[in-house]
Amino acid sequence: MNQVRSVLKHFIAIEQSEGMGARVRRSVGTHEMRKFLPFLMLDHFTVAPPAGFPDHPHHGQETITYIIEGAVAHEDITGSRGVLRPGDLQFMTAGRGIVHSEIPVSFADNRASKGLQLWVDLPEKLKNTRPRYRDLRREEIPTAKPNENVSVKVISGNSYGVESLADLAYTPIHFYYFTLNKNNVEFEQGFPKDFNVFLYVLKGSVSINKQVYPQYSAVFFKADGDSIRGVSSSENTEFAVIGGRILDQEVVHYGPFVETSKSKLIQVIKNYQEGKNGFERAQYWTSSISNGIDESRAKKILQQSNLTF
């Protein structure tokens, strides 16, 4: 029988400003939970034009972006570009260095784009790997349905016997999106014992060990078992459960630059300023979406990959 993990810490993620006019609820990466290795940050974002995250650099980490509503376009200095629709994800490895832009698509009805963005630390030996992208389309994500009241998008890992695609990120990550459609529905999710695990409530509330955690709660678990277990406490509940292999290394970061020592971090910042070691084009590159992208242009980009909204 699985050993159920106990709760380490919990709090409500408070909304704050980020980027150019975006609003985020940050759980990992706040003073309540500065880091939870391998995780550096989790933002539950809401962003609508003209707000966004225009051209900016990254080094030494991976980002995982999951779109819930609206659509977000991305473009980078390597020439990669695309549009993420509701249910799509992007796994981006910044590695030694990348500059990119993330801009919400402008729709006629002025809808906002909403989603989750997770920052994952890279193992020290992979800090200077080459950048790479992997767009995971909603059509590629299997769904586990253990009963009529539970649905799980198996983004990465295995839930109720349903396996995801493999090799999405360098750092081993398990990512599940649960939807429970009535009150008092049980759920359980297994994890390796060497993973740090947390849960974030996007809608409704959950109960774990008879304590109720309402909407926007971040719940962090101790590494004292191989599963988490709870029940829904509302009629419609949605939450993400995320785990990753624990990294035993120092974390020194300045904004989107992440390293294992102050001296290495200083060198990375210098590389960015001087346009070298991964940032060769950073000084003169400007994305074509930095001033916005409308629905018609987004559709054309999707059509190039035989996709539609």
In sequence order, what E strands does 3-161 have? 7-12, 15-18, 22-26, 39-47, 53-58, 61-69, 72-76, 81-84, 89-93, 98-106, 113-121, 132-136, 143-147, 150-156, 158-159
Sign of the torsion angle spanned by Cα atoms 301, 303, 307, 309? positive
Within 13 Å, how many C-alpha atoms sit on residue 77's CB side? 22
Closest CA to 100 of 68, 132, 67, 66: 132
Buried b (16+ CB within 10 A) or exposed e, 109-142: eeebbbbbbbbbbbebeebbbebbbebbeeeebe
Instruction: Tell me how far apart the alpha carbons of residues 119 and 98 are, in angstroms, rounded to a whole number.
Output: 14
List, in order, residues 6 or more apart from 247 with CB less than 8 Å away.
37, 38, 121, 123, 171
Tell me: is residue 56 an annotated ligand-binding position. yes
Closest CA to 83 of 287, 304, 306, 302: 302
Tell me: is residue 59 an annotated ligand-binding position. no
Tell me, rounded to whole angstroms, the distance of Cα 109 from its chain centroid. Answer: 26
Instruction: Tell me how far apart the alpha carbons of residues 4 and 190 are, in angstroms, rounded to a whole number.
Output: 9
- The residue whose two tokens read 């398990």 is 174
Tell me: is residue 58 an annotated ligand-binding position. yes
Tell me: is residue 253 an annotated ligand-binding position. no
Instruction: Tell me how far apart the alpha carbons of residues 169 and 38 are, in angstroms, rounded to a whole number.
Output: 12
**Numbered residues of the known binding site:** 56, 58, 100, 102
Q: Which residues are annotated as a binding site for Fe cation?
A: 56, 58, 100, 102
